Amino acid sequence: MSSTIEIAVVGSGYVGLVAAVCFAEMGHQVTCVDNDPRKVAALQGGDSLIHEEHLPELLQRYRNGRVTFTTNLGEATAKAQAIFIAVGTPQSDTGHADLSYVEAVACEIARHLDNYKVIVEKSTVPVYTNEWIRRSIERNGVDRKMFDVVSNPEFLREGSAVSDFLHPDRIVVGADSERAAEVLKAIYAPLTDGSYYDQQGIIPGRFSSSEPPPLLLTSTKSAEIIKHASNAFLALKISFINAVANLCEATDANVQQVAQGMGLDSRIGPKFLRPGIGYGGSCFPKDVAAFRSVADQMGVDFALLTEVEKINATQRKRFLSKVRSALWTLRGKRLGVLGLAFKGDTDDIRDSPAIEMVKMLLGEGCSINAFDPAGMERSEAVLPAGDKLKYAADAYAAAEDADALLILTDWPEFATLNLGKLRTALRYPILVDGRNMFEPAVAAQAGFNYYSVGRPAAHPTRDEVA
């Protein structure tokens, strides 16, 4: 039988908020702390602030009950057995992670430590952060026996964060003390002993009580490296398939067939082999840079990561050339753009390859009519609408009278668009697909000159044009 644990989660961003409501869903009592009073008020009122499946329903179920929101870190620390630090670790100019928010939180926690507590790194942090947190707490006069610092990295993806949290491939706990490890094991017991999956109305996912997820116990440093190494490896997989896609383009091969052939090897696996205009988001670009910076600092040659970044940046430039060669010249062209978010199923535009493409195209003198199912509000804040950039009500309106239509984000709903209707809306039937959303033959049958990534271009036959 799992027991209820008093938890504080510091930071109510993607990781913090999801962790807070999911710990409540697992039966724990949670105080979620944020230093922004407006955010706290919004969360107390039931506004989940981010576009994330299952988050509104869990927030509704637990807010002001099993999860309370506050700006008072001191009070939250005083009553918690475990304090999860889930604040931002932005990228500094040199690529390494800026840990000043983590440090500030550690110092504040130190001021309120009056009995044994476990402090948990949940934010993505470089190796050795654990030791720095410990040192700053000790520097603030706290006895070493009063606390332990553990690393418990998060592997959730935006868009499926809640089900990733409750149905994790693995739970990694990096702890150098038995006592701290026991607290973390107790927190995750509802998942690891399977009892959560026996309850009614749970968030559905791949695990069940007969097959619960594994918990991997490691040293703190190993856990810190697991997080960075996992993200860097996934980014590497994407850059690898993008480089293969470029080779396919040069040889008239089809990257989709190549990826399928590679992915059937169980040692390689089919996931993260989708080529496109490169990876983006708040994690991969920042984490690859931070991991490279850690290796540099430690005197380890990890030039492979520099190549991963280089291929990723080149992918955008190649796409721009593809648009140019489909249209001959760019200046003065009207383009319809589908997708602004960094990937489908999210409203997040941080480090979005699509936003970068839009900026590049505007810089080339194009005018753009863009549509994204969820990311337009955030886009408007960084790219305000004006003469050259408009936001459309739907995909068909974005295509209206455009010289070509570009797909920049893999929103699943784009794959079900009516190609005939799009073609009629466009001035010229040109579709440049940066996310390989359509089968080339299908797009050509619908009358399109279709260009995608790593697959031969497809053109309509005379009958199809008619």
- Catalytically active residues are 283
The 3 state secondary structure assigned to 227-255 is: HHHHHHHHHHHHHHHHHHHHHHHHHCCCH
Phi-psi region of 253 (alpha: psi -120 to 50; beta: other; left: phi over 0): beta
411 binds ligand UGA (CB under 6 A): no
CA angle 336, 282, 246 (to 5 degrees): 55
d(CA 215, CA 182): 12
d(CA 139, CA 350): 36
Among 25, 158, 249, 347, binds ligand UGA (CB under 6 A): 158
* Paired residues of 129 in beta bridges: none
454 binds ligand UGA (CB under 6 A): no
* Nearest distance from C-beta of residue 164 to ligand UGA, angstroms: 7
CB-nearer residue toward ligand UGA: 124 or 369: 124
d(CA 92, CA 336): 34
φ, ψ of residue 82 to 5 degrees: the values are: -135, 135
Among the candidate windows 250-258, 267-275, 298-306, 452-460, which touches ligand UGA by CB under 6 A?
267-275
Among the candidate windows 92-100, 191-199, 269-277, 399-407, which touches ligand UGA by CB under 6 A?
269-277
d(CA 429, CA 434): 16
CA angle 149, 228, 260 (to 5 degrees): 140
83 binds ligand UGA (CB under 6 A): no
Q: Footprint of ligand UGA on residues 109-128 (CB under 6 A)?
A: 124
Among 196, 279, 319, 451, binds ligand UGA (CB under 6 A): 279
* Nearest distance from C-beta of residue 275 to ligand UGA, angstroms: 7
d(CA 121, CA 126): 11
CB-nearer residue toward ligand UGA: 44 or 230: 230
d(CA 33, CA 457): 52
CB-nearer residue toward ligand UGA: 50 or 78: 50
315 binds ligand UGA (CB under 6 A): no
CB-nearer residue toward ligand UGA: 280 or 447: 280
Identify the DSSP state of 156.
P
357 binds ligand UGA (CB under 6 A): no
* Nearest distance from C-beta of residue 48 to ligand UGA, angstroms: 16
Among the candidate windows 74-82, 154-162, 178-186, 393-401, which touches ligand UGA by CB under 6 A?
154-162
Identify the DSSP state of 91.
B
343 binds ligand UGA (CB under 6 A): yes
Count residues contacting ligand UGA (CB under 6 A)?
A: 21
- State the amino acid at position 279 in one-letter form: Y
283 binds ligand UGA (CB under 6 A): yes
Helix (H, G, I), strand (E, B) or coil at 33: strand
- Binding residues for ligand UGA, per CB under 6 A? 124, 154-158, 231, 234, 238, 272-274, 276, 279-281, 283-284, 342-343, 410
